[in-house]
Amino acid sequence: MKRRAVRTRLRTTTIFVTMVVAVVVVILCCCIFFFLDRYRTAMVQSARTSSAQAVSQVSNTVENYLSDMEQSMRLVEQSMTESADSRNKLLSAFLRFRPDVVAVTSYSSEGELLDCWSIGHEPKDSILENLSFDYERAAETNAPYLTAPHVESIFEGYYPWVVTMTAPLPSGTEAAWVSLDLSFSSISSYISNVGIGQRGYCFLMDSDGNIVYHPQQQLLYAGLKSEDTVRLASLRDGTYADDTVIYCVASVGDSGWRVVGVSYVDELVNRNVAEMIRLSAVLTVVVLAAALLTSWILSRLLGRPLRGLADAMESFESDADHFTYRPVGGTREVQELSGSFEHMVVRIQQLMSTVREEEVNLRKTELKALQAQINPHFLYNTLDSIAWMCEQGRNADAVNMVHALARLFRISISKGHELIPVAKEIEHAESYLQIQKYRYKNQFTYAFDVDPECLEYLCNKITLQPIIENAINHGLDLMVEEGHIDVQVKQDGGDIVFCVIDNGVGMSGEQIEAVLQRGPSDRTGIGIKNVNDRLKIYFGRQYGLHITSELDEGTCVEIRMPKVREGEYETK
C-alpha cells in the first residue's frame, strides 16, 4: 500500500518534471533554431555588405589613382609638343614628383624607342625585348591603354615590375606614342592595407583576368597560391558568396581594371555563428536547469505536504482512536486541505466516542432490565419449599429460607446500583446456596474462602450466582454422591479473582463454548454469558470469565475483575 503510493508520487513528479523540461526544450530549440538561422542570414548579409564597401572603396581609390595618372599622361603628352630642352626639364621634374613612375618612354611611328626618361637609369644599348611597348597593340588603338604587369626590361641590372600606360600622340610631333611605366608602390599601398575581416583581402585584375596587383603577388608567382581569375573575369560586378568564400567584384571606372574582394565566410560568419551557438547552448542549459529546478521545487512544494497528508490519513485509517493530527504546511491549497482533514478527524473521533458511549449505555440498560427480572420458576420452587417446611412444622428452617430469599432479592436490587461491595455479593451467593441446599436436600456442601481485604472492593452484582447455579444444575445435579462447591475470593496484583470450584461431572470443550455463548436460559434470569459480557463492558476486554474443566473431575470458573473502590469506577 505504502510502496504503491510512493511509486505513484514519484511517477507524478517525474511526469511533471519531464513535461516541463520537454516543453522548455522544444520551445528553446525552436527559438534558437530560428534565431540562429536569422542570425546567420544577417551575418552573411553584413559580410557581403562590408566586403562590398571595402571593394568599392578600393575601386574608388584606384580610379582616383588612374585618373591622376591620366592627368599626368596629358601633362606628358603636352610636354612632347615642346622643345627638347624644356621637355627634359619638365619630365625630370615630373619623375621626381612622381616616384612611382619608373620611366617615361616615347616611340616613333614605327614603334622604335626614341627617348627614355628615368631617374638613375639609362636604357641598354641593345634591348633584347621591350615589354613596355607592344607595337601591334598600340597601332590598333587610338586611345590610351594599360598593359598587364610585366618586368621593366630596358635597363641594365634593374628589373622592377610595372604596368605600362601607353597613349598615342597627336600627329605633328616627333614621337607617335608615349608610355608611362608605373611601379606598384602606390597601388600596393592602396590595396595591401585593405583587409576584410582578418584574412580577407582585395586584389586588382584586368578585364582578361590577369592579376594586376595582389597583396600576395609573389606567392602567386612562386606558384604557392592561385586565384580563379578566369571565373572571376566572367562575373559581372557584384557580390558572390559560396560556402567558404565571398567574392566581391567591382570595376574601376572604365579602365577595364576590376577590384576583387575576397573574404572568408568561415571567419566572418561561421566564427560568429559558432560563438552564438555556444552561447545558445549555455543559455539552453541555464534555462533547462532553471526549469528543472523550478519544477522540482514546485513538485516538492505540492508533493511533500500531500505525501504528509496521505501518511496522516493512512495512520488515521489504521488507528483512529489514538490518532492525533499535526497539520501539514505548504501552499494555501494544501493548508486548506489539511485544515479540512483535521476537522474531519476531530468530527469522526467525536462521533466514534459518542457511538461507543451510546452502545455501552444501551447494553447497561439492557442488563439492568435483565437483572431486575426474577426467574419465576425459582421463586415458585422456593416458595413451594417454604410452604412445605411450614406444613412439616419446620418453622426455623422456613424462617431461614424466607430470610435468605429476602436477602437475595434485596441485594439483587441494591437500589439500582450495578456495583456492590464484594461482601454483599458473597452474602448474595451465600443466600442463594442456602436456598438451593434446602431445596436439594443437602445433596451438596459448600464453603467460602474469602480474603478479608477483598471485601471492601466493589464488584458487579449477581456475578457469582449464575456461576453457582450452573455448577449446581450441570455439575452436581447429576451426581450420585455428595457434591461440593468452593467459592474463593483472593487478590492477584491489581485484580480480584473469584473462583467457583465444583467437583461435578465437568464440561467438555464444546460445553464450555456453549455456556459462554448462550443467552439467558429459561431457568435462570441471568446466564454466564451475561456475567462475562458485563465484566468486559465495565472493565475492559482483559477481564471476564475463564473456565477450566475436566470431565468427571469438576469445573473451575475463574472471574477476574480490577480492584475498584467506592467512587473509583467513574475515574477508571
Partner 1 sequence: MKRSKCALICAAAALAMLCSCASAAPVAEQHTVALIAKSTETEFWLSVFAGAEAAAAEYNAKLTVVGPETEEDYETQNAMVEQAVEKGAQAIVFSAIDYENNATAIDAAAAAGVKIVAIDSSVDSSAVSTYIGTDNYAAGRMAALAALERVEGDLKVGIVNYDVSSANGQEREEGAVDEFKESGRAEIVSVINTLAEAVHAQADTAALLMDHPEINVLLAFNEPTSVGAANAVRELGLSDDVFLVGFDSNVATVDGLQEGSVDALVVQNSYAMGYLGVEAACKMLSGQGGSLETTVDTATRVVDRENLFTMDSQKALFAFE
Chain residues that interact with partner 1, rule: CB under 8 A? 10, 13-14, 17, 124, 126, 128-129, 131, 150-151, 153, 156-161, 184, 216-219, 221-224, 278-279, 281-282, 285-286, 288-289, 292-293, 296, 299-300
Q: Cα 277 from chain centroid?
A: 26
Q: Which residues contact 466 (CB under 8 A, 6 or more apart)?
A: 524, 526, 527, 528, 530, 531
CA distance 285 to 276: 14
Please give the Cα distance from 230 to 71 (Å, whole number).
31
| Type of residue numbered 377 | H
Burial 492-521 (b: 16+ CB within 10 A, else e): eeeebbbbbbbbbbbbeeebbeebbeeebb
Residue 99 near residue 206 (C-beta atoms within 8 A)? no
Distance between CA atoms of residues 11 and 222, nearest Å: 71
Q: How far is the CB of 55 from partner 1 (least distance, A)?
A: 22
Decide if 349 contacts 323 (C-beta within 8 A).
yes
Q: Rank residues 229 and 460 by Cβ distance to partner 1 and give the closer one.
A: 229
Pick between residue 92 and residue 188 the one whose CB is nearest to partner 1. Answer: 188
Q: Of 453, 386, 462, nearest to 424 (Cα)?
A: 462
**Which one, 148 or 345, has the nearer CB to partner 1?**
148
Q: How far is the CB of 539 from partner 1 (least distance, A)?
A: 48
Kindly state the cell numbers that stand for 361. 449505555
Q: Name the minimum Å distance from CB 222 to partner 1.
A: 4
DSSP-derived letter for residue 155 is: B
Name which of 152 and 502 has its Cβ closer to partner 1: 152
Give least dist CB 82 to partner 1, A.
33
Nearest distance from C-beta of residue 233 to partner 1, angstroms: 16
DSSP state of 128: S
Please name the residues in contact with 532: beta carbons below 8 A apart, sequence gap of 6 or more.
516, 544, 545
Comparing CB distances to partner 1, the nearer of 91 and 334 is 334
Minimum CB distance to partner 1 smaller for 150 or for 410: 150
In the bound complex, what is the minimum distance in angstroms from residue 249's beta carbon to partner 1?
A: 23
Query: What is the grid cell recorded at 254?
Result: 572604365
Residue 148: CB minimum distance to partner 1, A: 8
- Size (the chain), residues: 572
List the grid coordinates of 482.
455428595
Please, which residue, 125 or 522, has the CB nearer to partner 1? Answer: 125
Q: How far apart are CA 96 and CA 76, in angstroms?
A: 14
Shortest CB 353 distance to partner 1, Å: 38
- Rounded-to-integer distance, Cα 269 and Cα 264, Å: 8
Closest CB to partner 1 among residues 222, 480:
222
Strands 177-183 and 544-550: unpaired
Decide whether 157 or 493 has the Cβ nearer to partner 1: 157
The least CB distance from residue 76 to partner 1, in Å, is 25
